[in-house]
Amino acid sequence: MSGTSGMGEERYTVISADCHAGADLLDYRPYLESRHRDAFDAWAATYVNPYEDLLADTADRNWNSDRRVAELEQDGIVAEVVFPNTIPPFFPSASLMAPAPTREEFEQRWAGLRAHNRWLADFCAAAPGRRAGVFQILLNDVGEAVKEIQWAADAGLNGGLLLPGTPPGSGLAELYSATYDPIWAACAERGVPVNHHAGSASPPLGEEPAARAVFMVETTWFSHRALWHLVFGGAFRRHPELRLVLTEQGSGWIPGVLDMLDYYHGRLVAAASRADTAESKFGAGLADSMGKGPSEVWRDNCFVGASFMRPHEAQMRDRIGLDKIMWGSDYPHDEGTHPYSREGLRIAYAGLPKDEIAAMVGGNAARVYGFDLERLGEVAARVGPTVQELDEPLKETPAGATSPVFAPGGSVRVW
């Protein structure tokens, strides 16, 4: 469950299932195939980074390995699942859905993602056993995606695949399409988790105040769509070993959505057997193509990177699935819990049974992403939060805390 210090204190082994990293822009150059380097030089010379946090003096948290290890340890965290953050070569932004209308641009962006993945493999190797890197693909070329999955699995990127979204206007087949079956097959065969992170599936909405508000309302919903697309699309029937992780999109929504999906599944399957009803066509073939119902798929194949959990979400842990929940700090983002992760953990988990806390803060992530808990326990014995510490409710918000988990009313959002 936890490490033990020399003084006999039990400590939790905390693994953040939601962190972000990437190379400084020019440091991607050596990882590009040589034929793309001249084009990269020309592109980089005129590129203007749109993200303030990647221009600040804290930007090197994304690539400074020693700084990350030190800051995460100070925060009580001994290992991390590493999602991308910085801009890959040839992309106007971090979004994998940025428009790319020409074949040449698609080729360059594939080259950019390969460069990031190869940099990430080295970055993870710099802290052996303490990073599970999440690699990137594009969905426009399934064959190339499969090749990259095979490479990444061989390279030890245990964080798995980052699944792009298919928002309206993307021009891509929907995620339920059989077009992507070779991707699910490759992931299942190689034991590669499929991760779908919040913000990666929303369509561009512009910069007006209303657009930004609509984005906040809709972004989690667009992220949730991957669940029902893969469930109704039958991906888990055809590939029973496939695992889906939904990260940084909350967790309190899951029981209600599963109830809704079960309802529609039962209703449509039943309707399909009655040819004289208006609904029969909507359920035709669904039972055979899906196999198990939505709640069964969730039980057997799905997990949630719950990130900075709120107290009400922790109270729903049995309905969500105690073995499904993986806490994350979202380091180094402003909305993350750093450097107050211990306090964030207390907000969510104070007073809960310690074996359940141990599962949510590290045990589940170790199982999904292949971390060695015994090895990490040796580090946790030195830096992890103590059982006694997390059992004490937080009475005062730390000054300077920026995570939504500390915001007034931040514990009431359920989706």
pLDDT at residue 344, as a whole number: 97
- If residue 133 lies in a helix (H) or strand (E), which one and from where to where? strand 131-136
How high is the pLDDT of residue 280?
86
Q: Name every residue whose Cβ is closer than 8 Å to that of residue 61 and which is 6 or more positions away in sequence.
A: 67, 68, 71, 331, 332
Strand partners, 195: 162, 245
Domain extents in the chain: 2-406
Between CA 166 and CA 406 the distance in angstroms is 32
H/E stretch holding 262 reads: helix 254-272
The token pair that represents 173 in the structure block: 């087949």
CA distance 100 to 105: 6
Residues 152-174: tens digit of each pLDDT: 999 999 999 999 989 888 889 99
pLDDT digits (tens, 9 = 90+) for 120-138: 999 999 999 999 999 999 9
Specify the CATH class of 2-406 in words.
Answer: alpha beta
Per-residue pLDDT for 319 more than 80? yes
Say what the pLDDT of residue 156 is.
Answer: 97
What's this model's pTM, rounded to 2 decimal places? 0.94
Look at residue 399 and tell me whether its pLDDT is greater than 50: yes
The pLDDT tens digits for 217-246 are 888 899 999 999 999 999 999 999 999 999
Q: What pLDDT digit, counting tens, does each position of 186-200 carry? A: 999 999 999 999 877
In this prediction, residue 272 carries a pLDDT of 87
| Average pLDDT across the chain, whole number | 93
What pLDDT, on a 0 to 100 scale, did the predictor assign at position 299? 98
Looking at residue 378, its pLDDT comes to 97
How high is the pLDDT of residue 413? 42
**Percent of the chain at pLDDT exceeding 90:** 78
Q: What is the pLDDT of residue 386?
A: 98
Q: How far apart are CA 32 and CA 50, in angstroms?
A: 22
Long-range CB pairs of 97-101, under 8 A, 24+ apart, other chains included: 97/164, 97/165, 97/167, 97/170, 97/200, 97/201, 97/203, 97/204
SS3 265: helix
Segment 363-378 shows an average pLDDT of 98
How do residues 323-339 score in pLDDT, each as one tens digit?
Answer: 999 999 999 999 999 99
Residue-level pLDDT at 92: 86
pLDDT per residue over 22-74, tens digit each?
999 999 999 999 999 999 999 999 998 878 778 888 999 999 999 999 999 99
Mean pLDDT, to the nearest integer, of 17-24? 97
Per-residue pLDDT at 411 = 43
Q: pLDDT per residue over 258-277, tens digit each? A: 999 999 999 999 988 887 78
Checking if the pLDDT of 78 tops 60, the result is: yes
Instruction: pLDDT band for 414, please (50, 70, 90 cuts).
Output: very low
For residue 139, is it left (φ>0), alpha (ψ between -120 and 50) or beta?
A: alpha
| Mean pLDDT lowest among 251-255, 288-292, 371-375, 411-415 | 411-415
